[in-house]
């Protein structure tokens, strides 16, 4: 069950996220994210103390991302966590 079944054959969790989102999200977004946006998002995420602060950050950033950008954000975050 879980993401392993729905994204069978994917090489990592970022690929699984992409596989799920590519059919649910548009390939383009109205306000594309820049490298600076990602940098500020990751800095703010690291500085956030509570789950609700982190959730608010995700809620603001992730709707702006394409499925491919989601894939790379997941990879960056998991790498930083050592997972």
Residue 19 near residue 11 (C-beta atoms within 8 A): no
Q: Give me the average pLDDT of each 10-residue run along the chain (83 residues).
A: 50 85 72 88 92 90 84 86 71
pTM: 0.67
Q: Which residues neighbour 12 within 8 Å (Cβ) at sequence distance 6 or greater?
A: 75
- Cα 80 to Cα 10, 43, 74: the distances in Å are 21, 12, 10
């Amino acid at each position: 069950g879980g993401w392993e079944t729905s994204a069978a054959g994917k090489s990592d969790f970022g690929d699984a996220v992409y596989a799920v989102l590519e059919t649910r999200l548009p390939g383009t977004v109205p306000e594309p994210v820049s490298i600076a946006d990602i940098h500020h998002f990751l800095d703010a995420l690291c500085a956030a103390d509570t789950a609700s602060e982190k959730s608010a950050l995700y809620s603001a950033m992730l709707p702006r991302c394409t499925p491919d950008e989601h894939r790379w954000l997941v990879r960056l975050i998991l790498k930083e966590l050592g997972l």
